[in-house]
Amino acid sequence: MQDISFKGYAKRIFTVTFGLVFAAYGVGLTVTAGLGVSPWDVFGQGVALKMSDLLGVEVMMGTITQITAALVIIADLALKEKIGVATIIDTCIFGGALNFFLKHNLLPTPETFAVKFIVMLAGYFVWSIGISVYMRPALGAGPKDSLFVAFAKRKIPVAIAKNSIEAVVCVIGWILGGTVGIGTLVCVFAMGYMIEFCFKLFNFDVTKVENESLFETAKNIRKLLSK
């Protein structure tokens, strides 16, 4: 049972924000490792590179991540999937945090393959920890996760929907210049197990989570204000 109070909401929102920033650092590690990134990040990289060429100014990967998340939220709403506070925070914070880490050289830049591989694995592990942290307060899932849930409710297997969408965005990103490599394969085939391990590590049973929608949060805050 989540704490429905001002202090409780402050703690939950802080936890969501911390988890997402932590996850963004993990994604940054997979980028600087240079061995290939997740399918969605291949897309973000590719589009950022293409937009930078077209506009003549640097467009960062995190910015494309934010724009993509906003567009996916529109798709979530169109599919009548509820979004939560965490969904909005994800859209606003995650890409910005990723840009910050990349722009200010706060990530290692390994030289040898062995070190790159270690950094890449560490990145996916840190990302997995961040996911387990931000999901715990039950304030909603990220835009992409909500999209897969919406497909599942329409009798489309999540695995098929997830793999199909990620295959399309990965190919588009690769054509535009995104980095595809062993890291991409690790993400596709191993990250799910890393997330599951982190859930168990933090004693977090995701199947028992009842996410609070943005409407429900607003309703609860309104009740607290009226007291």
Distance in angstroms (rounded) separating the CA atoms of residues 49 and 94: 19
User: Is residue 132 within 8 Å of 202, Cβ to Cβ?
Assistant: yes
Closest alpha carbon to 101 in 92, 111, 110, 109: 109
Q: What is the pLDDT of residue 46?
A: 97
Q: What is the pLDDT of residue 34?
A: 95
Q: Report how far apart, in Å, the C-alpha atoms of 224 and of each of 139, 162, 213 are.
A: 17, 38, 17
Q: In the numeric block, which tokens belong to residue 101? A: 């880490």
Q: Report how far apart, in Å, the C-alpha atoms of 26 and of each of 19, 62, 173 are.
A: 11, 13, 20
Q: What is the pLDDT of residue 170?
A: 95
Q: Which residue has the tokens 């590179």?
A: 49
Q: Collapsing DSSP states into helix, strand and coil, what is residue 17?
A: helix
Q: What is the pLDDT of residue 221?
A: 93
Which segments of the chain have a pLDDT < 50?
none
Distance in angstroms (rounded) separating the CA atoms of residues 138 and 185: 29
Q: In the numeric block, which tokens belong to residue 127? A: 């990302």
pTM above 0.75, yes or no: yes
Q: What is the pLDDT of residue 35?
A: 97
Q: What is the pLDDT of residue 158?
A: 64
Distance in angstroms (rounded) separating the CA atoms of residues 116 and 137: 33
**Distance separating the N- and C-terminal Cα atoms of the chain:** 21
Q: Which residue has the tokens 């399309």?
A: 168
Q: Collapsing DSSP states into helix, strand and coil, what is residue 137?
A: coil
Q: What is the pLDDT of residue 61?
A: 96
Q: What is the pLDDT of residue 80?
A: 83
